[in-house]
Amino acid sequence: MAKMWAGRFKKETDQGVNDFNSSISFDARMYRHDIMGSIAHATMLGKTGILSQADVDVIREGLTSIQEDIESGALSFDPQAEDIHMFIEAELTSRIGDAGKRLHTARSRNDQVALDIRLYLRDEIDEIKALTVKLIRTLCTMAEEHTETIMPGYTHLQRAQPITFAQHLMAYAGMFLRDLGRLTDTKKRMNFSPLGSGALAGTTYPIDRNMTASLLGFTGPVMNTLDGVSDRDFCIELGSAISMVMMHLSRFSEEVILWCSWEFKFLELDDAFATGSSIMPQKKNPDVAELVRGKTGRVYGDLVTLLSMMKSLPLAYNKDMQEDKEAIFDAVDTVKLCLSTFEPMLKTATVLKDNMRAAAAKGFINATDCADYLTKKGVPFRDAYKITGTLVGICVDKGLTLETLPLSEYKALSHVFEEDVYQAIDLTTCAFSRRCTGGPAKEKVEEQIRWAYSQLDQLD
Ligand code: ARG
């Protein structure tokens, strides 16, 4: 196919260069947004008298028929085309003739591509948000079922203090709620129209940038045409918000992997969400969680690609920026894939409550409560801390736990100890008497769940 810009050249493009330069293999996915943008542009050209209404009508019909044909499979993308913008324009011209050639009046591919990516990513953000909301709802539902499921809480991956599984799940809900906030903010800042920026310096035609912005649902036009065509901050911002979602999913995956090991055995994945080994018959592997963890690195890579791509680019458009698409599309595809696979994996897993409870019973995770017991009876905390440490040492030597250590041993270290110490160090008491806001007490976790639901209700 002859190039649109062939007039300026005496030779055809080298085939290798053509392939190297072409972006249609990855930007074809923006066809719907390209058509939407072109229809808005043509409508504005008609309203401002730059094009005749008759031309605008055929352009609209032509573009609509192209979209229908792409979607029905009647029209396939030409791999020789330079990009989706050139492909659609050439197809339009071949269908409607001269009117098709007028569509690009007062526009450049530079503002066209900047527009298309924004329109495309705006929709993607909505999809990522919907998947994130689904995951948060699953976390809340699971948490509702596990407000009394005692498990050890960890620091340094060492058993630390008793918590409930519900509280652990709601910590993740909080993380994903912040992700939703970041995605919402990204969309707000992204939602300005670059259309009308032209190649870089706008145009001498009497276009109406406010009109195209509002036809396409933008808050308004980007206020500087150079910025309009050369800004990819929104890709980087979205890449960063997605990286955070992935980081949260990856931490969660790491825990799922640990919990599925025989060393923990807190969780049993549904057979449909686990895999076996080709050689070891006993294996049941958490491949989904491992892949999510693995793919996190790949998404970080996409973010670094975008940051590095932009760091030395002079204003305004540079072809380097064509590289934005594969990176941000990969990030978007990957996070959607991970969210939509992780959520059902979690939802269908069996929580092995008894194993969690048994693990909580080991590791002296009620030692802080034992020290607090003394403090509440007037012993200064540092002394109480030391006495409890000594008691733990005695237990370790004797193979006992604080629950099974006889009262006489307690009393030998402090006369303050009475029979009620056993009640104070009971794991359920320990978890449930942490009643501060955000704590593991049943009513406090229920409060967290209500809060999470109310955050979801207020989403925009
Ligand atoms: N395919 C190009 C891209 O993705 C479209 C913009 C081309 N503009 C240009 N001046 N060559 O960036």
Q: Which atom of ligand 1 is nearest to the CA of 84?
A: 1
CA of 395 to the centre of ligand 1 (A): 71
Q: 156, 278, 415, 454: which one is catalytic?
A: 156
Query: Is the model's pLDDT at 43 over the cut of 80?
Result: yes
128-178 confidence digits (pLDDT tens): 999 999 999 999 999 999 999 999 999 999 999 999 999 999 999 999 999
Residues 93 and 83: their CA atoms lie apart, in Å, by 16
Which pTM does this prediction carry? 0.94
- For residue 335, what pLDDT band results from cuts at 50, 70 and 90? very high
156 noted as active-site residue: yes
CA of 228 to the centre of ligand 1 (A): 14
Residues 183 and 186: their CA atoms lie apart, in Å, by 5
Q: Which pLDDT does position 6 carry in this prediction?
A: 78
Q: Which atom of ligand 1 is nearest to the CA of 82?
A: 1
CA of 78 to the centre of ligand 1 (A): 17
Q: Which pLDDT does position 1 carry in this prediction?
A: 63
277 noted as active-site residue: yes
Ligand 1 touching residue 113 (CB < 6 A): yes
Ligand 1 touching residue 87 (CB < 6 A): no
* SS3 (DSSP) at 450: helix
The residue whose CB lies within 8 Å of the most ligand 1 atoms, and thus the one to mutate among 112, 306, 319, 323, is 319
220-221 and 267-268 as β-strands: parallel, antiparallel, unpaired? unpaired
Q: Which pLDDT does position 25 carry in this prediction?
A: 97
User: Before 452, cis peptide (omega within 30)?
Assistant: no
Burial class (CB in 10 A: 0-12, 13-18, 19+), 255: middle
Query: Is the model's pLDDT at 256 over the cut of 90?
Result: yes
CA of 276 to the centre of ligand 1 (A): 46
